[in-house]
Amino acid sequence: MKVLVLGAGVVGVTAAYYLARAGHDVTVLERREGPGLEASYANGGQLLGATIHPWLAPDIPGLVLRNIARADAPYRVRFSPDPTRWLWGACFLRNCTAARVARITVDLRRLAVYSMAALENLRATEPFDFDHSRRGVLRLYRSEEKFTRAAAAALSGEDAARRPDQLDMPACATLEPALETARRHFAGGLHYHQEQTGDAYKFTAALAAAAARLGVSFRFGCTVERLLHSGGEVSGVQTSQGEENAEAVLLALGCHSARLLRPLGLRVPIYPVKGYAQTLPANSTGAPKLALQDVERKLGITPFGGRLRIAGTAELDGFNKRADPRRAAAMLDTLMKLFPDCGDPGSAELWTGLRPMTPDCAPILGATPFDKLYLDTGHGSLGWTLACGSGQVIADIISGRPPAVDLRGLTIDRFL
Ligand SMILES: Cc1cc2nc3c(=O)[nH]c(=O)nc-3n(C[C@H](O)[C@H](O)[C@H](O)COP(=O)(O)OP(=O)(O)OC[C@H]3O[C@@H](n4cnc5c(N)ncnc54)[C@H](O)[C@@H]3O)c2cc1C
């Protein structure tokens, strides 16, 4: 079947790979000059099978409102007359009840566990380098109370294989010696040894090359302008380079997905949520070798080979990718306070990316009310983790096979 994949971020490229493996004739249309240059470029790099959770939590509304004007707040909303921003924000806050968070977490975890298994299989077939590490992720808590509560919840989990090791700070520093200088900042940590990390951009670029070897054709510098449809069926797309027809169209345009769907009467609430990352060459002694999360500050610190990256924070500021220098400085300051010898802060490369977020923090996968139009989008803060599972699911659906994972809570139906 001739399939068009729109968008060459980690999500589109992964789907294109699985579609080619399933025997389809795949063309990827991407407006940038190569794969993985938008949200997938310099993300936190953490692959979170066991610890995946939506950003939603009952204490988030209070946290957002208390910190709304602070430049370095983990969550920040910039004032704007744009009603979409406020509507999206209101839906997000409405999803913060304990019952909704619990339900959404179950849906996400099902896909994340499937995705990690898919990544494992993919690595066996395509053994390319993407600074992959299996050392796990250590979640660090600044407040004693939050640490105790998180440990009690994690250790009572049903799945014993996914329970973390609960570590006091001396034990954390034994596991990760670079934490010796940071001990006084934290009450303790939970080490999830089965979690993994890797450079999403390197992965996307290498997988695009593998997909090309399977026959996938990539058209870069090609902007998709609109979906061509009639009688409830999509037949192709109008692009900056002309019309392109296909038997199936997969939309994986990240933050730009909603705009293309609107003329079809499909309103999907995907909003760009800006995040920051700073990457510096790592000192071999003072930089952590283990991936960390500073839970209260919503920051991830991830080593990639000889580099160290700090990433996180959320800002509602439309499609504006400009970095607020105060936020960037506060983030780097946190890193240097924790690990004064990790590297030269002057050499840090600053990057911002727009997460394609739905207000329930779950992606939108599968068929749409339009024949031949499929979605693989809205992965928000979790697209690197969920890319392989989502790509495999989409390849199954387009090939007419039932997906091997239950898609409850992950399809467009919840927004129609
Ligand atoms: C700071 C930060 C930290 C993160 N950390 C993590 C993490 O640790 N773990 C994790 O799992 N996830 C993380 N994420 C989330 C993850 O990076 C995203 O969910 C993921 O990159 C989304 O991939 P995508 O392919 O959907 O979108 P994108 O990578 O944005 O790809 C969409 C593509 O579509 C193209 N496009 C858009 N419009 C058009 C058009 N009209 N025509 C043609 N092409 C078009 C774009 O150029 C782009 O290449 C993080 C994100 C950020 C910003």
Which of 207, 379, 385, 388 for a ligand 1 pocket mutation test, highest count of atoms within 8 Å of Cβ?
379
Pick the range with the lowest mean pLDDT from 100-104, 157-161, 206-210, 310-314.
157-161
Confidence of residue 99 (pLDDT cuts 50, 70, 90): very high
The terminus-to-terminus CA distance of the chain in angstroms comes to 28
Alpha carbons 34 and 108: distance in angstroms, whole number: 29
The rounded radius of gyration (Å) of the Cα atoms in the chain is 21
Average pLDDT on 52-76 reads 83
Contact 350, 276 (CB under 8 A): yes
Q: Which CATH architecture has domain 52-97+132-196+271-357?
A: 2-Layer Sandwich (3.30)
Instruction: Locate 25 and state its tokens.
Output: 């004739």
Average pLDDT on 347-354 reads 98
Confidence of residue 415 (pLDDT cuts 50, 70, 90): very high
Give residue 77 CA to ligand 1 midpoint distance, Å.
20
Residue 70 has pLDDT above 90, yes or no: no
- pLDDT > 70: what percent of the chain? 100
What pLDDT shows up at residue 66?
82
Choose between 305 and 324: higher pLDDT.
Answer: 324
Average pLDDT on 346-363 reads 98
DSSP annotation string for 72-141: T-SEEE---S-HHHHHHHHHHHHTTSHHHHHHHHHHHHHHHHHHHHHHHHHHHH----S--B-S-EEEEE
Give residue 322 CA to ligand 1 midpoint distance, Å.
16
Pick the range with the lowest mean pLDDT from 55-69, 329-343, 358-372.
55-69
Residue 208 has pLDDT above 80, yes or no: yes
Measured from CB, residues less than 6 Å from any atom of ligand 1 are: 7-12, 29-32, 37-40, 43-46, 200, 223-224, 252-254, 256, 275-277, 300, 311, 353, 355-356, 377, 379-385
Residue 68 has pLDDT above 80, yes or no: no
Alpha carbons 118 and 380: distance in angstroms, whole number: 20
What pLDDT shows up at residue 72?
75
Q: Which CATH architecture has domain 2-41+201-269+361-415?
A: 3-Layer(bba) Sandwich (3.50)
Give residue 4 CA to ligand 1 midpoint distance, Å.
18
Residue 411, φ and ψ in degrees, nearest 5: -110, 175
What pLDDT shows up at residue 273?
97
- pLDDT > 90: what percent of the chain? 88
Contact 49, 117 (CB under 8 A): no
DSSP, collapsed to helix, strand or coil, labels residue 245 as strand
Give the chain's mean pLDDT. Answer: 95
Residue 88 has pLDDT above 90, yes or no: yes
Residue 326, φ and ψ in degrees, nearest 5: -70, -40
Contact 139, 302 (CB under 8 A): no
DSSP, collapsed to helix, strand or coil, labels residue 171 as helix
Ligand 1 atom 30 nearest Cα: 39
Give residue 375 CA to ligand 1 midpoint distance, Å.
14
Residue 350 has pLDDT above 90, yes or no: yes
DSSP, collapsed to helix, strand or coil, labels residue 205 as helix
Residue 15 has pLDDT above 90, yes or no: yes
What pLDDT shows up at residue 305?
85
What pLDDT shows up at residue 78?
82
What pLDDT shows up at residue 64?
81
Ligand 1 atom 33 nearest Cα: 7
370: amino acid identity, one letter: F
Q: Which residues in the chain are classed under CATH 3.30.9.10?
A: 52-97+132-196+271-357
Confidence of residue 414 (pLDDT cuts 50, 70, 90): very high
Q: Which residues in the chain are classed under CATH 3.50.50.60?
A: 2-41+201-269+361-415
Residue 160 has pLDDT above 80, yes or no: no
Average pLDDT on 204-220 reads 98
pTM exceeds 0.85: yes
Average pLDDT on 298-326 reads 95
What pLDDT shows up at residue 291?
98
**258-284 residue pLDDT tens:** 999 999 999 999 999 999 999 999 998
